[in-house]
Amino acid sequence: MTQLALVIDLNVCVGCHACVTSCKEWNTSGWAGPLVDQNPYEGSPTGTFFNRVQTFEIGTFPNTETVHFPKSCLHCEEPPCVPVCPTGASYKRPDNGVVLVDYDKCIGCKYCSWACPYGARELDAQQKVMKKCTLCIDRITDAKLSERDRKPSCVLACPANARLFGDVHDPDSEVSIAIRERGGYQLMPEWGTKPANHYLPRRKTRMHIDPEELTRVDNPWRKEDLTDYTGEETLDDVAW
């Protein structure tokens, strides 16, 4: 069975949010839309997003790193959101493995959001239905588009090519080769949901920092040598 999925390279994701905005644009006007925003320019903006990028600082100064972590529905092969749905609104397509929500059946009970260990489901506050990433199902199945364009909008928008898309069950696909050769991994596999989306790990980098480089050479305190202040006049003592 075909299992379509995303493979995200954490080593080259720069956190530009192009994937977030392109996802919002496409899906707001597409099959899964609209994706509403409430008070987008106020102090507490809320809204519905299929894809978010979380940014973390890890390590201890000066050996710190910034990690950008895109996250959306992982289109699990054993999706826990499907069996808990009381109306059958959550389902997995048998032809390509994409997990979707039928808005005509969804009653907004949130059972699926409680069952999902990845927090991928969001309640649309206006339509009162649960929404999530569809892998741009209306786009990837549109035979009128060229093969190049039959990809999720986030993949096409990524300027760093951090996102790959394809069939993870095909051993010769680009995504399967990347997972196999570059150590791709699933998020929280201990839950047994078999997420179809994978992440490519950040490569270890070594950076040598000279301790003297951590001190400002133009530090005015250092110029006046106030570290060993002996009572002489300094710039702070001058009356202008």
Q: What is the pLDDT of residues 114-159, one digit of tens each?
A: 999 999 999 998 889 999 999 999 999 999 999 999 999 999 999 9
DSSP 14-61: ----HHHHHHHHHHHSSTT----EESTTSSS-EE--S-EEEEEEEEET
**Residue 133 labeled ligand binder:** no
Phi, psi of 121, deg, nearest 5: -100, 145
Q: Which helix (H) or strand (E) holds 113?
A: helix 111-115
Neighbours of 18 (CB within 10 A): 18
DSSP state of 191: G
**Residue 158 labeled ligand binder:** no
**Residue 109 labeled ligand binder:** yes
- Predicted confidence at residue 143, as pLDDT, reads 93
Q: What fold, for 4-200? A: Alpha-Beta Plaits (3.30.70)
- Predicted confidence at residue 225, as pLDDT, reads 59
**Residue 136 labeled ligand binder:** no
Work out the mean pLDDT of the chain and round it to a whole number: 89
Percentage of the chain exceeding pLDDT 90: 68
**Residue 154 labeled ligand binder:** no
Helix (H/G/I), strand (E/B), else coil: 89: coil
- Predicted confidence at residue 186, as pLDDT, reads 96
Res. 226: pLDDT tops 60: no
Q: Across residues 191-220, what is the average pLDDT?
A: 80
| Rounded-to-integer distance, Cα 191 and Cα 226, Å | 58
Contacts 24+ apart (CB under 8 A), 59-63: 62/209, 62/214, 63/207, 63/209
- β-bridge pairing 90-92 and 99-101: antiparallel
Q: Which residue ranges make up each domain of the chain?
A: 4-200
- Predicted confidence at residue 125, as pLDDT, reads 84
Say what the pTM is: 0.82
Q: What is the pLDDT of residues 41-92, one digit of tens each?
A: 777 778 889 999 999 998 888 788 899 999 999 999 999 999 999 999 999 9
* Number of residues that this document lists for the chain: 240
- Predicted confidence at residue 237, as pLDDT, reads 67
Residue matched to tokens 């060993």: 228
